C-alpha cells in the first residue's frame, strides 16, 4: 500500500505513521499524538496523581519523540514504545523525590519485564488496600526490609546497617518481596508495582 496515496491519516496503521514520521511528516506526528495522548495521560495520572504534572510529562515525552523522529528505532509496537518512554520519565521524576533510589531501580527492573499492555480501569484506592494487605502477609524479615525501603525511604545500605545484614541480602529481600506481590496480585501486577512506590 502506498501510504502517500491515502489522504486521511486516521486510516494509517501505527507502522505506516512511523515511516512518515521519520520523514518529519507533521501530520503523521499529529495523528500519533491524537491517537495515543489520552491513554498515556491516564497511565501517567494513575501513577503521579497530579493532573498538571501528568500533562506536562506526556507533553515532554511527545516533544522528545518529535525531536528524535528522524532517527527513531522502534523495535516493539508504537504503543509499547511510548509506554516505555513515559515510564522512564515517570521514574526520573520519582527519583528526584524522597524515595529510596535502590528501591526505584529494583521496581523499574521488574517493570521492564512486564508486557506493555493497556492499563485497565481499576479502583486505585481499593488496589492500594489490597497491596497493603498483601505486604502484611509477607514473611517477617522480608516485610520489615520492604517497609523500611518503601515507607521510611531508607537506602539498602541503611537497612543493612539497621538489621545487621549485607546490602546484597537486603536487595534480594526486596526483589523477592516484589516478585511475591506480583504473583499474588496477578492481572494487576503492572499498575500495582507502580502504586507500591
Query: Tens digits of per-residue pLDDT, 77-130?
Result: 788 788 888 888 887 777 676 555 665 566 566 555 544 443 433 444 555 666
Domain boundary among 43, 78, 97: 97
Separation between Cα atoms, residue 168 and residue 84, nearest integer Å:
28
Q: Are residues 12 and 82 in the same domain?
A: yes
Residue 112 lies in a domain: no
- Alpha carbons 98 and 127: distance in angstroms, whole number: 23
Q: Half-sphere exposure of residue 17, counting CA atoms within 13 Å on the CB side?
A: 22
With CA atoms as reference, report the closest residue to 177 among 148, 129, 135, 149: 135
Q: Does residue 77 form part of some domain?
A: yes
135 in the same domain as 90: no
Whether residue 105 is contained in a domain is answered as no
Burial class (CB in 10 A: 0-12, 13-18, 19+), 183: exposed
Residue 143 lies in a domain: yes
- Residue 138 DSSP label: S
**DSSP secondary structure code for residue 84 in this structure:** H
Full domain range(s) for residue 32: 8-97
Do 137 and 81 belong together in one domain? Answer: no
Where among 60, 80, 97 does a domain terminate? 97
Q: Are 46 and 87 part of one and the same domain?
A: yes
Within this chain, do residues 70 and 137 fall inside the same structural domain, yes or no?
no
26 within a domain of the structure (yes/no): yes
Give the domain-ending residue among 59, 81, 97: 97
Give the domain CATH number at 31: 1.10.1740.10
Residue 46 in domain? yes
- Does residue 133 sit in the same domain as residue 192? yes
pLDDT on residue 122: 42
| Residue 114 included in any domain | no
Q: Kindly report, residue by residue over 160-197, the tens digit of the pLDDT.
A: 999 999 999 998 998 888 888 777 766 555 555 555 54
Lookup: cell for 3: 501510504
- Residue 5 exposure: Cα atoms within 13 Å on the Cβ side: 2
Residues 19, 73: one domain? yes
151 and 77 share a domain? no
Average pLDDT over residues 150-162: 84
| Number of domains the chain is built from | 2
Among the listed residues 49, 52, 47, 79, the one whose alpha carbon sits nearest the alpha carbon of residue 65? 79
Q: What is the mean pLDDT of residues 143-153?
A: 83
Indicate the DSSP class of residue 96.
T
- Would 113 be classed as within a structural domain? no
- Tell me the whole-structure pTM to 2 decimals: 0.53
Amino acid at each position: 500500500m502506498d501510504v502517500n496515496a491515502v489522504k486521511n491519516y486516521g486510516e494509517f496503521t501505527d507502522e505506516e505513521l512511523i515511516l512518515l514520521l521519520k520523514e518529519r511528516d507533521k501530520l503523521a506526528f499529529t495523528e500519533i499524538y491524537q491517537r495515543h495522548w489520552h491513554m498515556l495521560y491516564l497511565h501517567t495520572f494513575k501513577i503521579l496523581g497530579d493532573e498538571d504534572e501528568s500533562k506536562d510529562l506526556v507533553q515532554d515525552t511527545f516533544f522528545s519523540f518529535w525531536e528524535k523522529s528522524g532517527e527513531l528505532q522502534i523495535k516493539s509496537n508504537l504503543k509499547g514504545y511510548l509506554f516505555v518512554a513515559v515510564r522512564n520519565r515517570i521514574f526520573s521524576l520519582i527519583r528526584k523525590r524522597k524515595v529510596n533510589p535502590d528501591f526505584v531501580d529494583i521496581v523499574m527492573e521488574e517493570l521492564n519485564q512486564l508486557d506493555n499492555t493497556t492499563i485497565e480501569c481499576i479502583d486505585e484506592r481499593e488496589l492500594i488496600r489490597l497491596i497493603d494487605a498483601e505486604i502484611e502477609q509477607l514473611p517477617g524479615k522480608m516485610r520489615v526490609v520492604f517497609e523500611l525501603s518503601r515507607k521510611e525511604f531508607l537506602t539498602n545500605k541503611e537497612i543493612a546497617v539497621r538489621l545487621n545484614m549485607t546490602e546484597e541480602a537486603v536487595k534480594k529481600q526486596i526483589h523477592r518481596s516484589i516478585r511475591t506481590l506480583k504473583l499474588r496480585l496477578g492481572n494487576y501486577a503492572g499498575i500495582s508495582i507502580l502504586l507500591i512506590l
